[in-house]
Structures are given as C-alpha cells and as structure tokens.
Structure 1
Amino acid sequence: MSDKIRNVQTTVLSDNWYTLRKVTYEFLGRDGQWQQHSREAYDRGNGATILLYNPTNQTVILTRQFRMPTYLNGNTDGYMIETCAGLLDKDNPEDCIRKETEEETGYKISAVQKVFEAYMSPGSVTEILYFFVAEYTKDMKVSDGGGLQEETENIEVMEMPFARALDMIKTGEIKDAKTIMLLQYAQINGLI
C-alpha cells in the first residue's frame, strides 16, 4: 500500500451490472499536507482483446456491435467496430482471449502473442486490458461466431483489408481505443 494514502472508506453505490463504489480517502499532497478526496470507481473486472491478422491476405478480423454508452454520447446508431474482446471472469488472459475469439469471431486459435497491457480509463474504471495478436487462416474458422446467444451480444464479424481498417481510424468509422491501439501496433511492428 502507498504511504501517501490513508483512511480509505468505501461505499457501494451500485452492484447491479458491475460494482460502482464511492471511495473517500486522505491523500498526502506535494506540499506535505493531507487532503481529503472522494472519487467513484467502476469495477467490471479485467479483460483481454485481440487483433486477428492474416499477413498473406493482408486482412484483419474485427467485430461490430451495439454499445449503449456510445449511443447515449451521440454515436448515432450506437454501433462500434472493435477488436474481439471479453472479460477475464476467472480465466487467465490467454485462455480468456482464445475462448472469446472462438465465441465472437468463429476462429479457433491456439497461438496468441501478448503485446502489452493498459488501463483504458484509469480515472474512473479499475479494468486493465491485456492486448494480444494472432495470425489466422481460413482453415481456423469453426463457426459463424457472433457471440453467445445467452449473452445477447449480436456480434457481426467483419473481415477487411488491413489498409481499410487503418483508413477507418482516419475517417472516424473506428473510434474504439483498444482497436486503434492494436491496429497501430500491427502497423508499427510490420505484422501485415
């Protein structure tokens, strides 16, 4: 624990979908004085995401699904183009992303490469995301994907040229941070 934080008090504000907590604490400022702070933190667990790429065909697999928070923030139809992702639940990141890849995209992959991990919104969300890349080929396709029916994900699987995906960042068609990060990782590291 940090020696700059003391007297932490936590109140659960909501435990409906995930957990929203109000945390009140004292923080030792640079001036040496203790200051009382109050923040809210949303805990939804940690997650993993992956970019599937085919260097021979110069294509990537992305998904498209409805995201209510983006709709509420002005995204006209609420749909986002994203890399495959999911919450870890009780899985380790590698097992989670293999399972999510098959459920969401229909591709059964075995070899995944972890490239980094990042907090996506550290001012309010506790989640850390584990980022992966993996090559795919047509013979790895075992189903149509689309997510699990009981999770009502309604995921559209999109295979597209890598160059088109990069262009979609510029045009604003791709606004999802994890997707932008992985596409740029692939470009910087010459994966395709």
Structure 2
Amino acid sequence: MENSRIKNIKHEILSDNWYTLNKYTFEYQKFDGSWEVQKRESYDCGDGAAVLLYNTQKGTVVLTRQFRMPTYVNDNTDGMMVEVCAGVLDGLTPKECILKEILEETGYQLTEVEQVLVTYMCPGSVTQKLYLFIGEYQDAMKVDAGGGADDETENIEVLEMRFEKALQMMATGEIRDAKTVMLLQYAQINKLIGFNS
C-alpha cells in the first residue's frame, strides 16, 4: 500500500561494502497538512530468520554465543552475545533459511519449524524484516558439531541450557539480544517448556 503523504523521493547509495547504506530525501506531509523535506539513512542488511530451539522433555533450549562487533563498540565489554540461531535469507524462503542455519550453527537437523512472529527490529534505521520461528529438537537430531559456516567467518559456540537458566540470564542482562528475548518470552507466555522436566 502506497503512502500518499510521501512524495518526491530521492535515493542515494552511501556505502555498499558489507551491506547497503542508503540515503533518502523526500517530502513528508505532517499531521497538520503541511509538507516538509526530510532526510533519512537506512541500512539494508537483508531480511532474516531466527529460531528458538526447545526440548519439552528435557526442559532445555539451544542458544548460540558469538562475538558481535557493533555491541563491543557500544558498551558490551567483551562483545559476546547469547542469541537464538539466526541468519539472512539470501534468496531462500524464511523456513528454508532457518532450517539451513539450524544445521550450520547448532548441528541439529530439523525438518519442521513454526513461524510465530514477524518483526522490524530497528525500524528507525534498518530495513530488515525478521521472521521468528520455534522448533522442537531431540538429541537424535544432532548430526554435526555446528559452529557456523566456514565461508562466513563465523565462530559460534553452541549452548544447551535449562529454560529456567535462559530466563534468568535474560532477567540479569546476560541475554540482551532482542530477537532472543522475544522468543524466550513467547515460549514462556505460551508455556512451551515446563519447569518440572
């Protein structure tokens, strides 16, 4: 659906190094009916998918830990982040992408996942739409060590932990990644994982 309150959009690419940094100059009609020129930059890193892997019987979840440079330069002392498994679509459907990422990052081979949310994670500056999934895993699905794709400079630690511990880490700030917080809270609200396992 087009927005009639936006016109005369001019687009300029500022950087196309890792992903794409765009600059948009446009006229925007304010709520009082007047028009003003606005300038905004947006970072396009491609749409992505993320998944919370959980085991109902064991009461566990599988998360990852890896170094994230943007958090390191913004007050995350060691730059390490505990997160759900995730990746950029790169031409795949969200489901195809996340099944591939699960195997690459965690070593588990799932065939079914359930999409539960679609979000814009940072709508003021990043175009990315993120598809959020849940997936139930069993020990027998572990077919590889995981750790990430060799050609993507990934160095990922696979963490299997009790669901209660993940919630505690979220409460203490050890887990601060937004997609991970949302999926853990989704699991908690929907009682996907019991505390008595």
Q: Determine if the TM-score, normalized by the shorter chain, exceeds 0.5.
A: yes
Amino acid at match of 1:115: V
- The residue that corresponds to 2:135 in the other structure is 134
2:97 maps to 96
| Alignment of structure 1 residues 23-102 onto 2, 5 Å | 23-102=24-103
Q: What's the counterpart of residue 16 of structure 1?
A: 17
Question: Number of residues paired by the alignment?
Answer: 192
Q: Which runs of 5+ in 2 are unaligned?
A: none
Moved over 2 A (4+): none
How far apart are 1:152 and its partner, in Å? 1.1
Counterparts of 2:106 and 2:25 in 1: how far apart (Å)? 42
Letter in 2 for 1:46: D
Q: 3-state DSSP class of the match of 2:168? A: helix
Query: What per-residue deviation string (whole Å, max 9, x for no partner) do you get for residues 133-179 of structure 1?
Result: 01000000010000011111100000000000000011110000000
* Alpha-carbon separation, structure 2, partners of 1:36 and 1:73: 31
Percent same amino acid among aligned pairs? 59
CA-atom RMSD, angstroms?
0.4
User: CA offsets per residue over residues 23-54 of structure 1, 9 Å max, x none?
Assistant: 00000111111110000000011000000000
1:86 partner amino acid? G
Equivalent residue, structure 1, for 2:186: 185
Structure 1 residue 57 displacement after superposition: 0.2
CA distance in 2, matches of 1:147, 1:21: 29
AA matched with 1:11: E
Shift of residue 111, structure 1, vs aligned partner: 1.0
Aligned mates of 2:80, 2:70 — CA distance in 1: 10
Per-residue CA deviations over 1:8-29 (Å, capped at 9, x if unaligned) read: 0011100000000110000011
Letter matched to residue 53 of structure 1: Y
Unaligned runs of 5+ in 1: none
